[in-house]
Structure 1
């Protein structure tokens, strides 16, 4: 026996999408194609009978790719459509390869699903001896069969009442094995390997035993057995077989040997090894080998063809379609062209087709079917649009500062949309238009544009462009136009540049009480500045100023902006006279006027009075002393006003009504009442406190309050405080008050030495009183009331007592 190996060859396979075709009579001899990606069936139109494997392969190679290969990726697709047994592309030995290792297309076998016991190995046949003898023994049997050998095992023979005769013919032929040195244990038949392990024998020992036993002379042995049970056992040894008889009671054994003639024939097999075998896919999905010259249905496969198809030289009415050639015997190409629910079919033998008389802007769908053995292969598909026809009569309808309206004639044929390409000075963009009238938006005012219009289908296919150039948008209005209105004979105006582009400006000035755009003349003055000054105008007069931006070399005007512009009435020359309770204003003027507006205002208290008069003098009464007032005079001429003439000053101030000074320690607080006629007004005061003895003046304080405190003054000192009203450069009369700071007392003892020629003169009280009077006068002259002091006569004894204590 030889061990059969079916190696599983693994390799990297490039997997292509394939169709499978079942060629069988059951399919009415119409080959059925199965797409391995989606399981759909395709008709091939064949009319074939069952064939041999070679015929099947020749047909598959001619009309398809090859006989089918089977792997783990396509087995489920193929099996689910089985109805018969089919040839596949596997042969025992293909191009000298290892048996069952490669498919007919050269792919390695990576998947197997053999029927049990298959494929049959090429094993050595068992030889069975056929012998004849004089004893007419029963048919010889091979006693050396190795199905279930057991060492030292015995088989009990039941008690017999008759004599049995057994004939054993030898020699016996054993199968030839290679030695264990030539193969691994796993290479040996698994059953034999288990037997050797059970017999506790090596393979070499078994081989020697078989060799020795095969040389034994054939003989016939007759065994007679009584009714007593007898046990017969056969033991394999290294020198041959030993036969052991064991008699349990009384046993009689008779052995006779006679010569016989034997012949050996191979043991008959239910299945025969096929040298040239091909694989059949059984209807239930398993594999089995058969003679390749048998006739069966078969399965072909073909790679799905994905060719290249191109369209070129497309115009408004024509186009060329070309395609690639698929492998195999292609007889011709079926070309189907579909447009607007219309289909037309052509048969071509070349790989191109020129399409003529097409409609502009139409969608055309082209399918090219290669025809192979009467079978349409997967089509090559392409679709294209013919170019739309060109537009005509492109014109500009109108324009604004940021839009241009265009119109054109409708193009022939079909189109999806029109595209307008806008090219300006510094930008380019596109705008889609649905109809033949289109307004282009988002433009820059005063810019120069070129517009190019094309018809488009399918977002990509365009007609030839048609353009119109030198189209200007109107400039936008000037910004921040304003007149200075500050001169009586000159109109001055300015503005800022408009948004977008411009080449200059045009302005127009006219005298009118009603300014309207319609009154602006087209014949204005052109300038490139954003400032104008027009002189020699009448004072106190209303004018209208129109200004517009220009573009396209100052030939296209934007919208006019109109504002009123005025010359002012002249300003009066004003003079004022101030009193404590009134102000008199007078003025002169050289120019046009109707009346005057006068205003008097308290600068700090916002007190205001307004008058309108035609005279050139006015007195404002009941004013408050010491308050600053501003007088303004404005000349009025119709609705026009001059710049105001203004003067301001203080009314004559009056003194505070009263002043009071009080002390607390070394601090003096001064309070006062405002002037009698200035109650409620904000008045400025100046406050000063001074010491005559020390020759010291505190800093004058300007305040609007009616009290002030002076801290940290000298103790025991009389201070004189002065308060007056301050009004600009004017001051009122001063009001005073006195206050003494609290003294810090110290005692100074003066000892007088009295000497006199007259006895007891110094002891005389008159003398003492005179001395005290003179000292008092001396201190009074020195200190007066400016500082605190006190002179007192003290007895000497009292002083002495004070010192002792």
Structure 2
């Protein structure tokens, strides 16, 4: 018998003798036919039927013994086949049972190269398809079965993907205003790359085909995070994230803001295009052996408890992520409290009248001036003046 989902086509041989008509009985119904064959329709898909055929004469007065055959209609095809819960090695395949009867479902999964990855018969309307390669296009087939799996319905196909495995070895390299991200990936057709700063996405989500993405025009001393997901089909892997600070730029234009006898204030300009950072400031006098360092979050700092008339050196650095920039430097004097000190010198010489010569007096004064310059330099305010008689 030839079968479809709703029909069975019967054929038989004419018996010897005189035959005018055939009587076909099945499932409480019957039909009559004058040819050696009959197509019976409106049957239930996937169901067993036993057909009885009798031959007779025209007036129905004489009928032969019954001949019978048992067969199944072909099962229907499943509907609403869908894929969910995609991972890098499995996916959940589900469908709705067709009308009629089925004894199970044949499920296969294969790659584009027709390599069969999964082949099982199940009785429920879903199956977890496992042991799949990551980042791969998967063709999935479901076929309704009946007659103990011997008779198949029409196969229904759906195409899906396993998710790629996450990328590895994500490395960020930075300058003061650029960042370059690179990574390794065993699978994935493309990559989605996101740049984040302070919990906010910076720019769009970039789709790239190579395992590298540069970013330019960034803020200095900012802690940027990069998230990378491998993409296959419409599916993304779990993201891999790394963060790094862009390099520090030093402050600029360190300068005096104000000074008095015991206090001095320096100010500076923040680097351009920089995220909010802190600073370290230093004030020192090598002459007095003084040295102070402080943390600061403003662009100025006041030092007090200083000595008057002293030249103080000043340094300011940007600080972020435990690193410091090169310094911006300046120096200036506190206001001097001047005090006059008189020095007298006695001159004796074996040469007559040598000490009275102007050249001798000038030479001694110059030597004394040189001595004080070596001793005091520009560390404090001082001036040596020769008094004329």
TM-score band (shorter)? Answer: 0.5 to 0.7
Report the equivalent of 1:714.
Answer: 307
Is this contact kept in 1: 2:194–2:201, CA < 8 A? no
SS in 1 for 2:172: strand
Name which of 788, 795, 798 aligns with 2:381: 788
Unaligned runs of 5+ in 1: 1-484, 491-509, 516-520, 524-533, 542-565, 797-805
Report the equivalent of 1:648.
Answer: 243
For residues 724 and 770 of structure 1, do their structure 2 counterparts lie closer, same or farther at Cα, with a shift above 3 Å needed? same
Cα distance in structure 1, aligned partners of 2:86 and 2:359: 95
Q: Cα offset for 1:632?
A: 1.1
Report the equivalent of 1:740.
Answer: 333
Q: What do the CA deviations read for 1:449-474 (whole angstroms, capped 9, x no partner)?
A: xxxxxxxxxxxxxxxxxxxxxxxxxx
Unaligned runs of 5+ in 2: 1-84, 97-121, 137-160
Q: What do the CA deviations read for 1:605-659 (whole angstroms, capped 9, x no partner)?
A: 8562232314132221211233332111123456754332122222233333321
| 1:689 aligns to 2:283 (yes or no) | yes
Report the equivalent of 1:664.
Answer: 260
| Bigger relative contact order (CA 8 A; separation at least 6) | 2
Following superposition of structure 1 onto structure 2, how do residues 48-67 of structure 1 map, counting pairs within 5 Å? Answer: none
Is this contact kept in 2: 1:654–1:675, CA < 8 A? yes
Name which of 551, 571, 592 aligns with 2:166: 571
Cα distance in structure 2, aligned partners of 1:716 and 1:607: 53
Structure 2 length-normalised TM? 0.53
Following superposition of structure 1 onto structure 2, how do residues 89-108 of structure 1 map, counting pairs within 5 Å? Answer: none
Q: Cα offset for 1:672?
A: 1.4
Name which of 204, 217, 229 aligns with 1:610: 204
Q: What do the CA deviations read for 1:407-442 (whole angstroms, capped 9, x no partner)?
A: xxxxxxxxxxxxxxxxxxxxxxxxxxxxxxxxxxxx
Is this contact kept in 2: 1:595–1:612, CA < 8 A? no
Cα distance in structure 1, aligned partners of 2:281 and 2:94: 61
Following superposition of structure 1 onto structure 2, how do residues 251-266 of structure 1 map, counting pairs within 5 Å? Answer: none
Name which of 200, 223, 226 aligns with 1:631: 226
Report the equivalent of 2:116.
Answer: none
Q: What do the CA deviations read for 1:720-749 (whole angstroms, capped 9, x no partner)?
A: 212334454665443321111123334434
Structure with greater proportional helix content: 1
For residues 535 and 670 of structure 1, do their structure 2 counterparts lie closer, same or farther at Cα, with a shift above 3 Å needed? farther
Cα distance in structure 2, aligned partners of 1:486 and 1:693: 73
Q: Who wins on radius of gyration, i.e. which is larger?
A: 1
Q: Cα offset for 1:786?
A: 0.8
Q: Cα offset for 1:602?
A: 2.6
SS in 2 for 1:586: strand
Following superposition of structure 1 onto structure 2, how do residues 297-376 of structure 1 map, counting pairs within 5 Å? Answer: none
Cα distance in structure 2, aligned partners of 1:514 and 1:683: 58
Is this contact kept in 2: 1:486–1:643, CA < 8 A? no
Cα distance in structure 1, aligned partners of 2:289 and 2:86: 59
Instruction: Please tell me the root mean square deviation across aligned C-alpha atoms, in Å.
Output: 4.0
Cα distance in structure 2, aligned partners of 1:668 and 1:568: 64
Q: What do the CA deviations read for 1:528-558 (whole angstroms, capped 9, x no partner)?
A: xxxxxx98576579xxxxxxxxxxxxxxxxx
Cα distance in structure 2, aligned partners of 1:513 and 1:731: 59
Report the equivalent of 2:42.
Answer: none
Is this contact kept in 1: 2:248–2:319, CA < 8 A? yes
Name which of 601, 604, 610 aligns with 2:196: 601
Cα distance in structure 2, aligned partners of 1:708 and 1:612: 43
Q: Cα offset for 1:514?
A: 8.0
Cα distance in structure 2, aligned partners of 1:703 and 1:671: 11
- In the alignment of these two chains, the number of paired residues is 251
Following superposition of structure 1 onto structure 2, how do residues 144-155 of structure 1 map, counting pairs within 5 Å? Answer: none
Cα distance in structure 2, aligned partners of 1:762 and 1:664: 44
Cα distance in structure 1, aligned partners of 2:285 and 2:200: 40
Is this contact kept in 2: 1:597–1:610, CA < 8 A? no
Cα distance in structure 2, aligned partners of 1:667 and 1:673: 21
For residues 636 and 687 of structure 1, do their structure 2 counterparts lie closer, same or farther at Cα, with a shift above 3 Å needed? same
Is this contact kept in 2: 1:594–1:614, CA < 8 A? no
Is this contact kept in 2: 1:540–1:641, CA < 8 A? no
Q: Cα offset for 1:703?
A: 3.9
For residues 747 and 757 of structure 1, do their structure 2 counterparts lie closer, same or farther at Cα, with a shift above 3 Å needed? same
Structure with greater proportional strand content: 2
Cα distance in structure 2, aligned partners of 1:664 and 1:738: 14
SS in 1 for 2:203: strand
Cα distance in structure 2, aligned partners of 1:708 and 1:635: 49
Q: Cα offset for 1:486?
A: 12
